[in-house]
Every structure is written in structure tokens, then in C-alpha cells.
Structure 1
Amino acid sequence: MKKVTLNGSFPMIRAAVMGPVVRALDASGANCDALLEAFGMSRKLLSNPYEILPLTRYVAAFERAAEVLGEPLLGLRLGSELQVTELGPAGLVFLSSPTLNAAVRKFSLALASWQNTTTCELLRDGEWPVWTYQIANPQIWPRRQDAEYSLSTMCHMIRAVRGAAWNPVEVHFEHAAPADIKPYARIFRVPVRFQQPFNGVILRPSDLDAPLKSADTQMARMMERHATDLIARDAVPHSIADQVRDLVTRRLAHEKLIVADIAKDLGLSHRSLQRHLAEAGTSVRQIVREERQRSVEGLLERDGLTNAAIARAVGYADATVLWRATRNWKKQ
């Protein structure tokens, strides 16, 4: 079974995954907008479920949300309440597959269309099959909420197609055990082990071969194709300079671009990022300028756009700042 990892790409995830977190914050009356802003996000940005977010920010925002809500088991709860369709093509592939074996395998592959830099696979080497999930970048830590959300979601999905009475054999987590582990027993209804080599759901061999009533062969094929197209469309170039350019293009209108933040989103130190770009004969500042200039030139060709609208679209405060920038570009 091929592991779902996209080496060479900056860690990313689709904006749809923030939906449950936003709903939890709103339901509690917490200041959701302030939390989103602290991590370079907004409701407008998240309104497009296919928008790409840095995985580092999502994981950190999830951890912060649990702190704000005073709910250390937030990920565990949200995974058990999730609408499977919120997982995009991966969720629909799972629901429409003919057997649980096919559902888990196809889901693991399709998940790469929703997030990358993740190892996700179904192992059947030993007596007990195990579905494993782990963010491949060790620098993204802590990540307890994401891990507990992911395993809770998998058990929730299996119960959706096998019945509410279904239970795994065991559940494993890579992080240390919290002070109170009773809620884990209530959610998973089996032994839960902590400080394991990976996050995993242990299954029975007989679980995997049973047919699923929700099977839909045509839907499964369509969603697999959709996932493949998304992976190909949003594949991030392997060159560090091209990865920076891609990230800058995506974030230009949404946030202030800071070198340290870009480096963190790419999983690099500030110094390493600067060194890679210098070797390529460029810099973050130069890439931002080039991408702004390219975007402005394209926007100027559209009818009906004011200079103020163009300025906002490329991250400038107003039309005056845009005018100064375009004047400087002409001098260079």
C-alpha cells in the first residue's frame, strides 16, 4: 500500500477542515474571528472549502481553540460528530466503496486531495489490520487535537457504514496520556494506548471484508477521479523558490506577508529559507513584488475594477499605495 505523502510540498490542508472548529467556537460564544485572525485566517477565506491553508496554522489554531473553549477533548468530540461529506472526495469515496477494506484504502489515498505531508495507510502485515495516521513533519507539534480528531473521525465513519454498535480492537495515540482517560473509553469503547509510535485504529480482519450497504460504484469512481484531479491541480512545485511564489500568490490578498511566517509555513527556519532563495538568485521581497506586479497587470485588463479594488486584491492598503508601487516598478 502506497503511503499518502507529498514530499517536497509545503504542508497544506483544505479550508473545509476548519468548519467544525469554527462552529464549535461560534456555539460557545467565543470570539472566533479574533482566533482566526491570530492565525492568518478569516471567515471570508474559509468560505471557499477548497482554499489551501498552511497545515501548521490549522494544527495550531485547533490547539488554541481547545484552550479557548476549555475543552481538551475538542478534537475527540468533533470527530464523533462530523458529517462525512465535509471530508470532500475522500469522505464520499469512503461511503460509496463496496467493502470496508476498499473504503479505508481508497479514503487514505484520496485524503491527499484534502491535506498533504501526512502518512495515512491501512497495514495488514500482522494478525490485526491497523489504519495509521500521522503528520509526517515532526516540527508540527503539539498536534493532539488533530490526531484525536482524525482517529475519532475514522471510527465515526466506520460506525456510519457498519452500524453504531461497531467497535475497533484498540486505539493508539502518539502523544502522552492526559490526566483523565475515561472519555476515551466512552468514545472508542475499547482500550486506548498512548505514547505509541503512531496514531492508529486496530481493526478485526473480519471487519474489512463485509459488504457496505452504502456502496455506489459510480459515485466511488467519480470521487476517486475528483480527488486525483485535485491532487494534480494543486500540486506544489518542488523548488523552494517556486513554493514561496505559490504561497505568496495564494495569500497575497488575505494577509500581511512576513518572511518568518512564510518560512514556518514551509517547514523551514528563517535562515534556511533565505539561504535557499539566495542560492536561487531571489528573495521573499522580490517574489512578493513580482507577484504583485503580475497580478496588477492582469487586474488592470478587467473592466469595471477601481484602483481601490485592485489595491485590496494584491494586499495594498489603498489606491495611493498602489500608485506609488506601480511608479516604482516603471523605474526598475
Structure 2
Amino acid sequence: MADPHEIMIRVAALEGFRTFVFELGHDPVPILLRAGIDPAQLGNRDFRIPTRCFRLALNEAAAATGLAHFGLLLSQRQSFSKLGAVGLLVRHAADLSQAIDRLARYTRTHDGGTLSQLQIDGQSAMWLYGLAGVAGDSAIQQTELTVGLTCNFIRSVFDEGWTPQAVYFEHDRPADVRLFDRVFRCPVLFGQAATGIELSRADLGRSLRTADPQLFGILHDYLDRIDREMTEDFIARSKQEIQRLLGDSVSLEAVAAALGVNRHALQRRLKTMGTSYQQLLDDVRFEMAQHYMRDTGLSLGEISAMLGYSEPAVFTRAFRRRAGQSPRGWRQARLG
């Protein structure tokens, strides 16, 4: 049974994996098994596997085939359709800006571990990528696959001659960069502070040749419903972990670890959901404070400690901000 806190990805992310490994003269079955993936699962594109297993499959394939950039090569055999409904949605967006915005919003319906954002600086824009849940395993294969696939997506909705202004990778420069030159056809910089694609700001407003307003509307409504359900579930899980850790070792780091992500990934994910760790912590404390004061005989000092406040005065100030009255006044008004 999968860990409910595990970051998951649709097995469609391995589109073309088996065929490519076969063509390279290797058997993909042992590679998949070593990565913890049942090869039979690849037949159901919507089946979800842990992203760590997906990443491990890419790493194992790179080692078995001797291809240092297996992920980048695989990206040239994949299409955005592997993303399922969100892949179709962005192809039918009106322009690239709308496509990037919806991809950032709905990617988690396909992959809970890839995060993206757009930064605009003057006449240039940077489409940045990050991966959640990466511990000691290398993310180079997955990162190169993601960036290569995204570049191909833009070409598919603009024209094959489109090129980025530059491509940035956090990992070190490899000895041979000829493959990167062929794939991206632009300056490729390594050892950078972030991974992403730099493009012209004018590109953001370009119409997509694949745009279809009717299909976009249908897919948008569908994904919006799915996304709301996933958002509610993740926020509920986050609040459960905060509540469990209250009064003990509640912190952003502890909650993120309990959810199987690092602190920065949790912050980014909650931000895309319109909230924050501090907001959830405040909500849980307020809800639990009301419960303790209404349904138990605990003193305010005991309640303050159970909620993880440094001292009762801090609890009193926080509660007053939310309720408009002190904890003592709130309790007396309800219990008489």
C-alpha cells in the first residue's frame, strides 16, 4: 500500500520508456523492478506511482545504458499528451501566458512533485522549475527530461523554428554539451541558482496555433473540479499533521517532513493553493483553542501550552486577533 504522504505521479510520465530502453539493447523490466515499478502498471496511464520511483527508473536506465543524459533523450520521444487532461488543456490555451498559468495551477493533477512559476524582468521572462520530495537521489535525469519536454511543447504550439533565449540548469556542466546544443539551439548555462527556460516576453502573448476555446473551456471546468478536490485533500492533510505536532515539535520543517516534502516545496505548494503554513497553523490553533475552551475544563495556561505557544500572553493576543475578544471572555460568553 502506498504511503498516503508520498508524492505521486501518473505512470504516463514514463511514456516511451520501455521502447527506448529496448532500442538501446537493454531489457526495461529489471530496470523498472529495481525502481519499485511493476512493468504491468505501465499499461494504465492514469495509475499513480511514487515520484521517487519514477526518478529512480530514469537514473537506473541512465546507468544501465551508459547514457549520461537518458532523460533529455527520452524527452525527445515524449509529448505533452502524457500529462493527461492538463497536457491537452494547455495546448488549447489562447496564448503562451495562459498556457503557463494553467500548467502551474493544474500540474499536480498529473505530478505532485513538479512546481513551476513565471518571472518577468523587462523584455525577458523566466519559466522556472523545481522538484519536491528530492532527497539523496539525483534529480538530473528528471530535470533534463522536464526542460527538454517543455521546450518541445512550445515549439509544437508555435513553430519548429522557435528557440529559447537561454536554458538554465542547476547541475554542473557536463563534459560534452553537444546534445544540449542540438536540443535547445540556444545558450545553455549550468551551475545556476535555478532551473528554467528564458524566453522573450513577447512570446507570452503569442497565440497558440493549437488553440481551441471550446475544448479549453470543457477541460478547464473538469480540471478545476479535480484540482479543488486535491487542494482540499492536501490542505486537510497539512492541518492534520500540524494538529498532531501541536505542543510537541510543530514547525514548518517538521510538518513538511511528515508530508514527505522539504520546507521550500511545502511553502510553494501551499502558496499555489492560496494559503501558507502560518495561515494553516493559525487556523488549527484557533479551532483547537475553541474546542478546548468549550469542551474541556483545561486552564488557559494548559491550553496555551498544548497549542505550542511560548507563553499564555502570546496565546491571548493571537486569539483576540481572530475572535475579537480574549480567550477568557470567549469562554465565559459561551459557558456562562
The two structures have a TM-score, normalised by structure 1, of 0.66
Deviates more, 1:146-155 or 1:75-84: 75-84
Q: Distance in 1 between matches of 2:54 and 2:109?
A: 16
Map residues 50-199 of structure 1 onto 2, 5 A cutoff. Answer: 50-139=46-135, 141-199=137-195
Instruction: Tell me which residue corresponds to 1:204.
Output: 200
Which amino acid is 1:161 matched to?
V
Which amino acid is 2:52 matched to?
T
Shift of 1:140: 5.3
Q: Distance in 2 between matches of 1:137 and 1:195?
A: 21
Map residues 1-332 of structure 1 onto 2, 5 A cutoff. Answer: 9-139=5-135, 141-233=137-229, 235=233, 237-238=237-238, 239=240, 266=260
Instruction: Tell me which residue corresponds to 2:274.
Output: none
Q: Distance in 2 between matches of 1:97 and 1:48?
A: 27
1:265-285 CA-partner distances (Å, limit 9, x unpaired): 9469xxxxxxxxxxxxxxxxx
Which amino acid is 2:66 matched to?
G
Q: Distance in 2 between matches of 1:219 and 1:198?
A: 34
Q: Distance in 2 between matches of 1:228 and 1:20?
A: 29
Matched residue of 1:124: which SS? strand
1:176-232 CA-partner distances (Å, limit 9, x unpaired): 111111211111111101111221000101111111221111211222233334445
Q: 1:47 to 1:184 in 2, by over 3 A?
A: same
Does the 8 Å contact 1:54/1:265 carry over to 2? no
Structure index of larger Rg: 2
Matched residue of 2:26: which SS? coil
1:33-87 CA-partner distances (Å, limit 9, x unpaired): 1111112211222222111111111111111111112212221122223222112
Matched residue of 1:203: which SS? strand
Does the 8 Å contact 1:9/1:117 carry over to 2? no
1:130-185 CA-partner distances (Å, limit 9, x unpaired): 11111033415311111111111111001001101100000001111111112111
Q: Distance in 1 between matches of 2:222 and 2:141?
A: 28
Shift of 1:118: 2.8
Q: Distance in 2 between matches of 1:140 and 1:88?
A: 29
Q: Distance in 2 between matches of 1:135 and 1:83?
A: 20
Matched residue of 1:179: which SS? coil
Q: Distance in 2 between matches of 1:211 and 1:21?
A: 32
Deviates more, 1:21-30 or 1:199-208: 21-30
* CA-atom RMSD in angstroms: 2.5
Does the 8 Å contact 1:151/1:200 carry over to 2? yes
Does the 8 Å contact 1:62/1:145 carry over to 2? yes
Q: Distance in 2 between matches of 1:63 and 1:138?
A: 13
Structure 2 unpaired stretches of 5+ = 242-256, 263-336
Structure 1 unpaired stretches of 5+ = 1-7, 241-262, 269-332
Deviates more, 1:218-227 or 1:9-18: 218-227
Does the 8 Å contact 2:32/2:57 carry over to 1? yes
Count of residue pairs brought into register by the alignment: 240
Q: Distance in 2 between matches of 1:264 and 1:73?
A: 32
Q: Distance in 1 between matches of 2:5 and 2:198?
A: 30
Which amino acid is 1:102 matched to?
Q
Deviates more, 1:170-179 or 1:140-149: 140-149
Deviates more, 1:123-132 or 1:140-149: 123-132
Q: 1:201 to 1:267 in 2, by over 3 A?
A: closer
Instruction: Tell me which residue corresponds to 2:244.
Output: none
The two structures have a TM-score, normalised by structure 2, of 0.66
Q: 1:146 to 1:92 in 2, by over 3 A?
A: same
Instruction: Tell me which residue corresponds to 1:301.
Output: none
